[in-house]
């Protein structure tokens, strides 16, 4: 399996939970598409709100699905 094929297998939808992605890593572009947010919004979340990221180099980041889902769950608004 080549790199291009592996990238195509990462879902580009909002289905992060319950689809076997536990332990998976996604690129910044895939995360932007999945969450349907802009790069500037992601930068704000990362820099000001503690959004989890793994920095590979000065300009390259990846995101661990488990960490992203946990971060989102901690900020989930609960109706009550």
Q: Domain-by-domain residue ranges, the chain? A: 26-80
What's the average pLDDT block by block, 10 residues per block, for the chain (80 residues)? 46 50 86 96 96 94 95 85
CA–CA dist 22, 71 (Å, integer): 14
pLDDT of residue 14: 44
CA–CA dist 71, 73 (Å, integer): 5
User: pTM for this one?
Assistant: 0.69
């Amino acid at each position: 399996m080549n790199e291009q094929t592996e990238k195509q297998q990462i879902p580009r939808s909002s289905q992060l939970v319950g689809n076997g992605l536990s332990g998976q890593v996604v690129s910044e572009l895939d995360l932007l598409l999945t969450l349907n947010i802009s790069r500037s919004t992601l930068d704000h979340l990362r820099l000001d709100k503690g959004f989890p990221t793994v920095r590979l180099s000065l300009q390259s980041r990846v995101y661990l699905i488990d960490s992203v889902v946990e971060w989102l769950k901690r900020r989930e608004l609960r109706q009550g």
